[in-house]
Structure 1
Amino acid sequence: MANLFSVEGKVAIVTGGLGQLGRSFVASLADAGAKVAVFSRRPIEQEALAELFPDHLDNIRVYVASVTDKEALEAATEALCAEWGVPHILVNNAGIDSKPNGAAEQNGPFETYPQKYWDEIIDVNLTGVMLCSQVVGARMAAEGRGSIINVGSIYGLVSPNQALYAYREKRDGVPFFKAVSYAASKSGLLNLTRYVATYWAPKNVRCNLISFGGVKTGSFDKEFIDAFLERVPMGRQAQVSEYNGVIQFLGSDASSYMTGSNVVVDGGFTAW
């Protein structure tokens, strides 16, 4: 019997595929037999690429294309189609957030949050997903098949709990707030996903959202982690690899009747 969860022989695009989560998605899909194109805003030397993906160089390509640049996306997609054909899977993974140790105004009160930071994050996290879906999805629709997977967040479902960051003011003497732009951008993905799903359903192009919880990266303060985990029923953050399965599921025929859905993978965070 054929493996319902197989992505072998499929062509996938992963935007932001050189970041921590993106690298894991790329390697996982390549491990499963897919050909994977990374869309990255920065070039990478072949030697560095070989260090990241030592086992899959034959099945991985990197195209320089910012998700906010439609012309670059068109050119990268055309080049990919010329080599491997029209993609079967698009993982809209590229995203940015305010830097925890960035300028004070980036993480300051809502009342004075600068529009330039709002624009930067919305442009990548929401507009970028729309542009990638336009460019790649149109080609999928012409082929009569495809799966678009949008990478969201628990903060697209619930507001950030600012109490988790209260320790920063006690420690540093400066108020710290999780910025509005990230939550707004990820929430916007909910209805962008539904729109694309219903728009292209007659063309057999599916579109689903994954809302991820916290990921263990080693880059967060212990005070934040301790407070965050008190709100996670499973009592821990996800390992990066624990998100690979849902990517493969949504890219495979196992999810052939799923579209417009939001798959929450958060250790139970939003269940409380």
Structure 2
Amino acid sequence: MRPLEGTVALVTGASSGIGEATARALADDGAAVALVARRGDRLEALAASIGDAGGEALVVEADITDRAAADAAVAAAIARWGRLDILVNNAGVMLLGPIADAPLEEWDRMLEINLRAVLSMTHAVLPHLLAAAELGPRRVADLVNISSTAGRQVKRGSAVYNLTKHGVGAFSESFRQEFSRRHLRVGVVEPGAVRTELRDHLRPEIRAVQAERMAAMEALEPSDVADAVRYIVTRPRHQMINELLLRPTEQDD
């Protein structure tokens, strides 16, 4: 029997990169997966691929920076399967650059996606995770928040990104203290450099610097981070992985 057989997971930002790889990994381990993102065409292709491999997936096209949309995404998964055992808060954006002359809309965007959407999704799914922990086949449930090495260290040129990822870590630790005795676990994954679309949204001059940095190392692949998520949610009921820091071997910062 696969370790997540009979469970349901919801993955945000599932249309590409870490989210897509994580959805595939959880489906491979037996979970039914709700795929949540804005790009419906990519979600449809991913759902078809999961189905072809014998899994089950639900497409939920949504902008989860809208609280009502976050609530609706959770409701769609519950309507389909009647339960939720795992939430992976993966959706995020990294808009780097100096504080001076930074476009405020970039700061707002990071706050909306990296923090507010995490809070909205967690709030919406909380009663269902608690129910799964009490009554589900595993008698444990999991919240996994995808953070970054930026949630552990601060660098110039990434002030607001650092703020959001440190915030994810602080929220996760308080969540752990509140719900651990109810067997609702929380894990934070903190990847270093990963080959994803995150850098595509940077301003051109900053994107060039990041491209040079990435070219100087063998970066992580999205599947590497998905393996970390899979490890966290498949631990025995008595074991919780609170933080998992994951860097490319060649990354020296």
Query: Fold-level match, TM-score > 0.5?
Result: yes
TM-score where L is the length of structure 1: 0.76
Gaps of 5+ in 2: 135-139, 200-206
Out of 114, 122, 131, which is 2:120 matched to?
A: 131
Q: Return the alpha-carbon distance in structure 2 between the equivalents of residues 46 and 126 of structure 1.
A: 23
Which amino acid in the other structure matches residue 267 of structure 1?
A: P
Q: Which is greater in Rg?
A: 1
Q: Percent identity?
A: 27
Which amino acid in the other structure matches residue 230 of structure 2?
A: Q
Q: Return the alpha-carbon distance in structure 2 between the equivalents of residues 269 and 183 of structure 1.
A: 22
Give the corresponding residue for 2:80.
83
> Is residue 247 of structure 2 the alignment partner of residue 266 of structure 1?
yes
Task: Tell me by how many angstroms 1:112 deviates.
Answer: 2.3
Gaps of 5+ in 1: 99-105, 163-177, 230-235
Out of 27, 30, 33, which is 2:27 matched to?
A: 30
> Is residue 211 of structure 2 the alignment partner of residue 244 of structure 1?
no
Moved over 6 A (4+): 269-272
> Is residue 18 of structure 2 the alignment partner of residue 21 of structure 1?
yes
Q: After alignment, is 39-48 or 210-219 more displaced?
A: 39-48
Q: Return the alpha-carbon distance in structure 2 between the equivalents of residues 122 and 69 of structure 1.
A: 13
Q: CA RMSD in A?
A: 2.8
> Relative to structure 1, is the Cα distance of residues 111 and 22 closer, same or farther in structure 2, using a 3 angstrom cutoff?
same
Task: Tell me by how many angstroms 1:51 deviates.
Answer: 6.2
TM-score where L is the length of structure 2: 0.82
Which amino acid in the other structure matches residue 17 of structure 2?
A: Q
Residues 90-117 of structure 1: CA deviation (Å, up to 9, x unaligned) = 110000122xxxxxxx73x312223322
Out of 149, 155, 161, which is 2:150 matched to?
A: 155
Give the corresponding residue for 2:193.
214
Q: Return the alpha-carbon distance in structure 1 between the equivalents of residues 48 and 107 of structure 2.
A: 35
Contact 1:117 1:181 in 2 (8 A): no
> Relative to structure 1, is the Cα distance of residues 76 and 250 closer, same or farther in structure 2, using a 3 angstrom cutoff?
same
Contact 1:249 1:255 in 2 (8 A): no
